[in-house]
Amino acid sequence: MSGRGRSGGRPTLEEVAARAGVGRGTVSRVVNGASGVSARTRAAVEAAVEELGYVPNRAARALASNRADAVALVVPEPQSRFFAEPYFSDMVRGVGAALAETDVQLVLTLAGSDRERRRLARYLAAHRVDGVLLVGVHAEDPLPELLAGLGIPAVVSGRRSAAEPLPYVDCDNLAGAAGAVGHLLDRGRRAVATVTGPLDITEEGGRRAMRELLERRPDLDAVFAASDVMALGARRELRAAGRLIPGDVALVGFDDSVAARHMEPPLTSVRQPVEEMGRAMARILLSGLAGEPGDEAVVLPTELVVRESS
């Protein structure tokens, strides 16, 4: 195929129509997947598109349909946490996999500071995306209310409360935590501590929490951390205190990230199907944008992956 029109530039809709021997409107219907075109005519148009290397003008199509053909994946976290936590990269992969089957573009936006949030608000107010996927949103975050005010459909990862008004995808974290603690009890552990807290706690936060726990309960023999990254910090502090894992203290994390598999000893962890969460979020949003009935809430099961740390 040539990829160039008569004028030497990009082939136009009119040139495709002339090559196929049909009207401009017919070409538009074929390109946009509309019905009402015979199989013979559709084949002629598709052949002309292939021969000329015609690429539809997305901007013009979006203007005509009042659609941006794009969705935003919004993470209200600073860059440092986004790149430190494997959870986010897994989520992006899942969303990307679902959108790869469509013509919808993915826009990734971090909004961890007030300035970034103001910039995001302006961007969304201009309706440059058709919908938003909110990942890691905090209970007090104003973004969901902003989206509601702008009339932009949204899906959130994880319920902010039992009365979550937005469609959401979550994991059965309660069952996952119960399974982790049950596993520790089955291994004969009786002084089980937990490391948790705000979502922005990182490896250093896990280490500080572990230090405080050892001061308060020096007899503890097991720790369940709310993320693998926090478990890594707890491990560092346990080793600094001369505690053996799992001999003295059994350790369990949450996420089953790459860090869990490469920790020494390898970390027992609760696996969340994060990529599947991303795919499910994208599917719910796409169904809503298409006016099709879809799930308002999806809760996926977790799995305890037992390794040498417990």
What is the full per-residue pLDDT of the chain (310 aa) written as tens digits? 445 555 556 788 888 999 999 988 788 778 766 667 888 998 999 899 888 888 766 555 554 556 778 899 998 887 777 887 778 888 999 999 999 888 888 999 888 888 888 888 888 888 888 899 999 887 777 888 888 888 889 999 988 777 788 899 999 999 999 999 999 999 999 999 999 866 555 888 889 999 999 999 999 999 999 989 899 999 999 999 999 999 999 999 998 988 899 999 999 999 999 999 999 999 999 888 888 777 788 999 999 999 999 9
Architecture of domain 13-56: Orthogonal Bundle (1.10)
CATH number of this structure's domain 173-271: 3.40.50.2300
Dihedrals φ, ψ of 251, to 5°? Answer: -130, 130
Look at residue 220 and give its three-state secondary structure. Answer: coil
Give the whole-angstrom CA distance, residue 2 versus residue 292: 39
**Nearest CA to 269 among 250, 290, 294?**
250
Strand 70-75 to 250-255 pairing: unpaired
CATH number of this structure's domain 70-170+274-299: 3.40.50.2300
Strand 303-305 to 268-271 pairing: antiparallel
CATH 3.40.50.2300 residue spans of the chain: 70-170+274-299, 173-271
CATH 1.10.260.40 residue spans of the chain: 13-56
**Nearest CA to 222 among 182, 258, 262, 259?**
182
Are 254 and 305 contacting, i.e. CB atoms less than 8 angstroms apart? no
CB atoms within 10 A of CB 241: 14
Helices (H), the chain: 13-20, 24-31, 39-52, 58-65, 79-84, 86-99, 114-125, 143-150, 173-186, 203-216, 228-240, 258-262, 274-289
Are 110 and 75 contacting, i.e. CB atoms less than 8 angstroms apart? yes
Burial class (CB in 10 A: 0-12, 13-18, 19+), 199: middle
Q: What local confidence, expressed as pLDDT, does residue 224 receive? A: 97
The H or E element containing residue 223 is: strand 222-225
Q: What local confidence, expressed as pLDDT, does residue 1 receive? A: 44
Give the whole-angstrom CA distance, residue 161 versus residue 111: 21
Give the whole-angstrom CA distance, residue 277 versus residue 285: 12
Helices (H), 156-202: 173-186
